[in-house]
Amino acid sequence: MKSRLALRAVALGYLGFLILLPVGGVFWITFRDGFMPFWESITTPEALNAFYLTVFAAVVAVVANTVFGVAAAIMLVRRRFPGKQLLSALIDLPLAVSPVVVGLALILVYGTYGWFGGWLAEQGILIIFSFPGIILATVFVSLPFVVREVVPVLREVGTEQEQAASTLGASSWQTFWRVTLPSIRPGVTYGIVLTTAKALGEFGAVSVVSGRIIGRTETLTLHVEDRFQAFDLAGAYAASVVLAVLALGTLFAMNLLKPKEEKA
C-alpha cells in the first residue's frame, strides 16, 4: 500500500513538473493582467494572418493526406505487389526525420537552385520562401498518420463485406463508398485528428522553408517565435495559448474517438 502511494506520487510529480506546471504557467502568465491584453495580442493583423495561414495549410494537408492515406492503406492491405514492406516503411519515414532536415530536403528540390525549383521558377511558380513551401512542409510531416490509423482497421474489417457487396451487384466505386469507407470511418477520423494536430503545430520544417516574411508567410508557430525574438513576450504567450487551446481540443477529440478495443 505504502509503495503504491509512493509510486503514484513519483509518477504524478514527474508529470506535474514536466507537463502540467509549465503549460498551466503559460496560461497564468497570459491572463495575469486580464483578458484584454491577450485579446489585443491575438487580434493584431499579423496574428490573424498567421492564424488563417495555419488553418489553411492544415486543411490542405488534411485533405491531401486523407485521400493519399486511404488509397495507400487499401494498397497495403488489399493488394499484393513486390516491395510492399518497403513501401510501408517509407510511408513511416517522416516520423523519423528531424523537422529541420525536412525543410532542408524541400529546399534542395523545390528551392530556386533546387532539382525542380529552377524549372518551376521559370514557370513563375515559387515554392520555397513562399506559401506553397509551408504547405509542402506541413503535408510532409503529417503524411503517415491517416495511413497508420486506417491500415489496422482495414485489416480488421476484412474482405467479406466487400465481396458480399460485389455479389449483390455493387461496382467497385459503389462498394468503396457504401461499404468500405463507412466501415473504416473510425480509423479515418482518428487519423484526421492526428494529422490536424501535427499540421497545426509544425514549427521546424515550416521555419526553414518559410523565409519568414512577416505578415505574409508566417504561421502561428512562427508567429510565436517571431514575437519572442522581438521581445514581445505577451504576444508570444498569447499566440501560444491559442495553439495550446487547439491542442487541448485535439486532445479532447482524441479521447473521444480513440479506437476502443472490442470486448469479445
Partner 1 sequence: MGITVSNISKRFGDFVALDDVSLDIQNGSLTALLGPSGSGKSTLLRVIAGLENPDSGEVVISGQNKTGTPPQQRGVGFVFQHYAAFKHMTVEDNVAFGLRIRKRSKDQTREKVHELLELVHLEGFAHRYPSQLSGGQRQRMALARALAIEPEVLLLDEPFGALDASVRKDLRAWLRRLHEDMPVTTVLVTHDQEEAMEVASEIVVMNDGAIEQIGDPTEVYENPATEFVMSFIGPITRLQGAYVRPHDLRIQLEPNGKTSEARVEELLHLGFEVRVHLRLSNDEDIWAQITRDTASQLDLKNGKTVYIVTDRSRSFG
Partner 2 sequence: MSTARSSSRSPGRSGLGGIFGGEALQRGTVLMYLSLIVLIPLAAVVWTSGEEGWSGFWAAITAPEGMAALRLTFGAAFVVTAINAVAGTLIAWVLVRDSFWGQGIFNSVIDLPFALPTIVAGLTLLALYGPGSPVGIDIAYAPVAVVVALLFVSLPFVVRAVQPVLEELDTEMEEAAASLGASRFTIFRRIILPTLMPAILGGSGLTFARSLGEFGAVVLVTGNIAFETQVASVYIFGQIEGGDIPAASAVSVVLLAFSLLALIGLNVVQGRWTRHEE
- What ranges in 79-201 are assigned the alpha helix state H? 84-92, 99-110, 117-122, 131-141, 144-157, 160-167, 172-175, 181-201
- Which residue from 171, 177, 233, 251 is in contact with partner 1, where contact means CB under 8 A? 171
Nearest distance, CB of residue 176 and partner 2, angstroms: 5
- Say whether residue 167 binds partner 1 (CB under 8 A): yes
- Which residue from 88, 130, 166, 189 is in contact with partner 1, where contact means CB under 8 A? 166
Report helix angle 99-110 to 131-141, nearest 10. 130
Determine the interface stretch with partner 1 among 63-71, 113-121, 161-169, 245-253 (rule: CB under 8 A): 161-169
| DSSP three-state, residue 34 | coil
- Say whether residue 78 binds partner 1 (CB under 8 A): no
Name the residue with cell 499579423.
Answer: 46
Nearest distance, CB of residue 63 and partner 1, angstroms: 23
Specify the DSSP element, H or E, that contains 227. helix 220-229
Q: Report which of 118, 259, 100 is spatially closest to residue 183, judged by C-alpha positions.
A: 259
Nearest distance, CB of residue 146 and partner 1, angstroms: 19
- Say whether residue 178 binds partner 1 (CB under 8 A): yes
Q: Which phi and psi (to 5°) does residue 129 adopt?
A: 60, 30
From the list partner 2, partner 1, none, which binds 256 (C-beta under 5 to 8 Å, kind-based)?
none
Residues that bind partner 1 (CB under 8 A): 160-161, 163-171, 174, 178-179, 182-183, 185
